[in-house]
A = this chain, B = another copy of it.
Amino acid sequence: MQVIPIGLRSPLAPGDDLVEEFLRACSDSGVEIATGDVVAIATKAISAVEGLYIQLSDVRPSSTACKLARGVRMSPEFVQAVLDRADQTLGCVRHAILTVVSGTVAPNAGLDAKNAPRGTLAAWPEDPDLEAWRIREEIRRRTQARVGVILVDSGLIPLRRGTVGLAVGVAGMEPLVDYRGRPDIYGRTIRITLMDLADSLASAAHAVMGEGDELTPFALIKGARVKIADSYGRDSILLPQERCAIIGSLTVGRFPIGTE
């Protein structure tokens, strides 16, 4: 599997044609896009071309946001923007409110000041799967290549400092590899294992795209064991909270502190 960083010469701006910029950057890098490839795109690139920025000076924090802001040591405006944007808020630690947005667990509703214009927060698109689908169809129209598209943002692993990549949006590929009914190396039938290929590839892309001023909002993945399909979205990888071994265990199934 090859994970090829695709960089730009200058930052994307509102109104830019994302797919055109991507195809030009591929061409500049001497990389050819083909059916079966997976195109990883940073959510920040979508924020940039669509102007998905929240102007902090426009936000009027409620008294709840002001109180919470003191606890988490964030600005009341940032907290209010998070509360406005989150589908659900789960809890908080210093500098972060844990939320669910478009089915993904993320700190601060995916809002982020880094690599966003001064005084603003970059936001995820309202429907990341639909956005991935549109980009996939546009790439297909211009190149005839049937690719998978994943929208990538930084994500968190429990008890790990530092970020991995998460597939915030998916289109054009099966996001999951289903091992149920297949044999293990001893020939026994596997009963419950599924591989979250979309998020695994998002982390692979994240490793080459970087988190700073690399100006690399794209990665092209070749040779991944991916099943290209006219499929839309991440429904198959999303899990209800009560069945999630992390969220479910720490909420409804939580042991008293100190239980060993």
Q: Which residues of A contact B (CB under 8 A)?
A: 1-5, 11, 83, 86, 88-98, 100, 103-105, 107, 114-118, 154-166, 176-177, 179, 182-188, 190, 192-197, 199-204, 206-208, 210-213, 215, 224-225, 236-239, 241-255, 257, 259-260
Residues in B whose Cβ lies below 8 Å from that of A210: 177, 195, 225
Known: A245-B156, A249-B96. A184 touches B88 (CB 8 A): no
Residues in B whose Cβ lies below 8 Å from that of A165: 200, 203
Q: Cβ of A193 and Cβ of B237 under 8 Å apart?
A: no
Nearest-Cβ distance from residue A168 to partner chain B, whole angstroms: 12
Residues in B whose Cβ lies below 8 Å from that of A190: 114, 211-212
Q: Cβ of A184 and Cβ of B158 under 8 Å apart?
A: no
Nearest-Cβ distance from residue A91 to partner chain B, whole angstroms: 3
Docked complex Cα distance between A103 and B204 (Å): 23
Docked complex Cα distance between A91 and B255 (Å): 5
Docked complex Cα distance between A199 and B160 (Å): 9
Residues in B whose Cβ lies below 8 Å from that of A103: 159
Docked complex Cα distance between A91 and B159 (Å): 15
Residues in B whose Cβ lies below 8 Å from that of A1: 2-5, 204, 207-208
Residues in B whose Cβ lies below 8 Å from that of A107: 245
Q: Cβ of B204 and Cβ of A3 under 8 Å apart?
A: yes
Nearest-Cβ distance from residue A252 to partner chain B, whole angstroms: 8
Q: Cβ of B193 and Cβ of A212 under 8 Å apart?
A: yes
Q: Cβ of B255 and Cβ of A159 under 8 Å apart?
A: no
Docked complex Cα distance between A203 and B254 (Å): 27
Known: A161-B196, A237-B160. A213 touches B92 (CB 8 A): no
Nearest-Cβ distance from residue A48 to partner chain B, whole angstroms: 9
Q: Cβ of A176 and Cβ of B159 under 8 Å apart?
A: no
